Amino acid sequence: MGIYIGLMSGTSVDSVDSVVVDFIENSVKIINKKSYPIKDDLKNRIFSSVYRESIKQKEIKLLDKELGELFGRAAKEIIQDSSLSLEDIKAIGSHGQTIKHSPEGPKPFSLQVGSAMEITKITGIKTVTNFREADVKAGGQGAPLSPLFHQALFKMKDISKGVVINIGGISNLSNINLKTNQVTAYDSGPGNCLMDAWSKRHLSKNFDQGGAWASNGKYNEKLLNIMLEDSFFHTKNPKSTGTEYFNLEWLEKRLKELSEDISNEDTQATLCELTAKSIFNELVKTNSLNKKIYICGGGIHNKFLIKRLDLLIEGRTLSTESLGIDPDFMEAICFAWLAKQRLKNREFDLSSITGSTRRVILGEIS
């Protein structure tokens, strides 16, 4: 057996997703999966750190310790719930929580918190973290990394080509063609992040359940076009982004530019359309509308968003459940798989995914 733990907290900062996976005979067997909610106080401090331009080192260290403890407890608890001993686990792959992602400029970096030392202290298990740094140092975007697992999954399932769309806080696409051994991937723009932020401001809810609020509105074409004029949507791939860019401040600037009254629900409907249209536009650019399109991430539960996306691409989307992968745990499984690759010292060529200039080994072992 090759049992690994995958831990993930995305840009929505709603929970730590934890999964126990057995990679046997070139297959993925999910033994257990569970989400551990992140308390509001900690969540608010994380968001505060993400949105501020500068953070004190003391704050980073405190968040690193607290999140490391949370990730460690999540790992230990799910192992016990799975009737496994700590000795049964080969390694833990923990993505951590992204605080800052800045792969461009003179000093590129990507910062995740969630101390490996704390995870190891609690579990006593070898832990792999800091997956993005090596790629950034090699001139890459450091994201997305999940396409590496998507490619491996397609090989396991004998699927020659297709697209995997992960709709988390940010949306990203993996365009895979095993016949040509080609994988291209990039962030397409906001996923749930703007809709979640707008819901929190006006409904005091962390998200728009099923897209019900958005479905009561009507998207504003003028506002949609203003948003789609943003330079990110016209930047050549590979490209990556985060909630430090697509946030309420970004939205407010576009609302001022609109210079006309718009209701809150119409704004929400327009944000939903932005997510769907930005994904659709990337599929058109890459001639991918005739391929099988698999959806994962929290956005799959936004029924109105999926309805809008299906309308644009004429109903071609499938859940990754059809591949045997729970759409809510795809990324956690990915980091369990990446931990396995790190133990093998496997090098990856990410040039067509992140734009890196040399092969890299992803992750640091603690």
| Rg of the chain in Å (alpha carbons) | 20
Give the sign of the dihedral formed by CA 76, CA 81, CA 86, CA 88: negative
What distance in Å separates the CA atoms of residue 316 and residue 339, rounded to the nearest whole number?
33
Q: DSSP class of residue 39?
A: P
DSSP per residue, 85-130: -GGGEEEEEE--EEEEEE-SSSS-EEEEES-HHHHHHHH-S-EEE-
Under 8 Å between Cβ of 246 and 296: no
Q: Do domains 3-137 and 146-323 have the same CATH topology?
A: yes
Domain ranges of the chain: 3-137, 146-323
The CATH code belonging to domain 146-323 is: 3.30.420.40
What pairs with residue 15 in β-bridges?
37
For residue 1, what pLDDT is reported? 63
For residue 339, what pLDDT is reported? 99
Query: CA 316: distance to chain centroid?
Result: 22
Residue 96's nearest CA partner among 49, 54, 30 is 49
Spans in the chain with pLDDT lower than 50: none
For residue 259, what pLDDT is reported? 86
Q: 311 to each of 69, 217, 269, 295, 314, how far by Cα in Å?
A: 43, 17, 15, 15, 5
CATH 3.30.420.40 fits 3-137, yes or no: yes
- Phi-psi group of 203: left, alpha or beta (phi > 0 → left; psi -120 to 50 → alpha; rest → beta): alpha
The pair of structure tokens assigned to 221 is 């074409």
Q: 349 to each of 140, 175, 182, 183, 187, how far by Cα in Å?
A: 11, 15, 11, 10, 18
User: What pTM was estimated for this model as a whole?
Assistant: 0.94
For residue 269, what pLDDT is reported? 99
